[in-house]
Amino acid sequence: MAGMAGFSREVAKRIFAEELKSSNYSFRDGEDQHQYAPSYLLTPTGAKCNRVFLVGTLTEKDDIGSDIEYWRGRVVDPTGSILIYAGQYQPEAAQILACMEAPSYIAVVGKPNLYQTEDGNIIISLRAESISRVDEKTRNQWIIDTARRTLERLDALKNASPVPASGDFTTADNVPVASSSTTPAQDAERALHHYHTDIGHFREMVLRALTSLREELLKSDAHVVAAESKSAAAQGSNKASPAASQAGAEEMLPSKKSKPKKSEPFNAWPQPEDEDEVETINIGKKS
C-alpha cells in the first residue's frame, strides 16, 4: 500500500470513559487527500485520538456474532463505561476477550468508533487492537496518569481561542482532510469551539475519579489491617484467653475516632517514570 507511506503507528491516548462518551467530532488529518489519511477523534478537552488506551474492569462480555465470533465487552472505569468490540479482523484481541472471565481488570488499546443512529443518538465504542489482563496496581496507575493528562489538557484550554470548526456531529468520512497536521494548541482551540467545553465539569470528573481511587485504597488498607489483626490474634490464642486476643486485635485496628487524612494535592500523587504515551506493546508490562 504505497498510499500509506509516511504514516507511523499512532500512540494511544489515555482518556476517561466519560470524556470518550462526550465526544462526537471525528476527522481525517494528513497532507495528501487519500483514503489512507489517518482518522481522529477530538475529545472535549482537546485530545486528538487515533488510538485510545483504556484500563478498567471488564464487567460483562457477549459473543454477538452469527456465523463468525464477534465479541463485545463492557469496560468500566471510575467515570463510566465503554463498549469494546473484537472480531475476525482483530483475531488476537477476540481470542483473549473470549477466554477472559468477568469481572477482571483489563487494559485495552483500540480505535474509537462513532456511530449516529437514525434518531440522532451518538454511540461511541472502541475497536480493540490489543487486550491484556492486568492487576489492580496497573489499573490504579492508569487512573492517576489519565487524571494528570486530562488536567494538562484542561489547563491548555484556558488559553485557547475558539476557531471555526464543525458545529454538529461529523464523521471521518465527511470532513475534509486538513492541509497539515494540527498542533496541541490548535486541537484545544478546535475542541473549545466545537464543544464549548465546560472546564469545571471535566475537573469534577477528574476529582471523582481520584476520590473513587482513594476510597478504594483506604478500604483496602482497612482490610489488610483487619486480616493482620486476626492473624495476630490466632497466633496468640495459645497464650491468651479469647477475650484477651480480641482486645489485642481491636488495639491493632484504626481508632474509631481517628479520621482519614485530608486528600493530598494532585501533585502529591506518584509520578510514572515514563511520561510518553503508551504503546500497544507496553500495556501488559508491570512497573
Each residue's pLDDT expressed in tens, for the chain with a length of 287 residues: 333 444 457 889 999 999 999 999 888 776 555 666 788 999 999 999 999 999 999 999 998 888 888 999 999 999 999 999 998 889 899 999 999 998 999 999 999 998 888 888 888 999 999 999 999 999 999 999 999 999 999 999 988 776 554 445 454 444 444 444 678 888 899 999 999 999 999 999 999 999 999 998 988 777 666 666 676 666 665 554 444 434 433 343 334 333 444 434 434 344 443 444 554 434 444 44
Question: Please, which residues have CB within 8 angstroms of residue 253's CB and are 6 or more apart in sequence?
Answer: 225, 226, 229
CB 252 within 8 A of CB 227: no
- Which element (helix H / strand E) includes 133? strand 122-133
**pLDDT of res. 241:** 46
The DSSP 8-state label assigned to residue 4 in this structure reads G
- Is residue 27 within 8 A of residue 170, CB to CB? The reply is yes
Q: What is the rounded distance in angstroms from the CA atom of residue 138 to the CA atom of residue 78?
A: 14
Cell 500497544 locates to 280
**pLDDT score at 43:** 96
Is residue 250 classed as helix, strand or coil in its secondary structure? helix
Residues 6+ apart with CB under 8 A from 44: 19, 22, 23, 191, 195, 197, 202
Cα separation, 277 vs 280, in Å, equals: 10
Q: In the prediction, which pLDDT does 174 show?
A: 43
Cα separation, 188 vs 42, in Å, equals: 9
pLDDT at site 227: 67
132 closest CA partner among 197, 185, 58, 62: 58
Look at residue 3 in the predicted model and tell me its pLDDT.
39
State residue 8's pLDDT score.
Answer: 58
Spatial strand order in the sheet of 39-42:
25-28, 39-42, 48-49
Closest CA to 10 of 50, 45, 47, 39: 50
Q: At what angle do helices 136-158 and 199-235 cross, to 10 degrees?
A: 160
* Burial class of 39 by CB neighbour count within 10 A (0 to 12, 13 to 18, 19+): buried
Domains of the chain plus CATH, in order, are 2-198 (2.40.50.140)
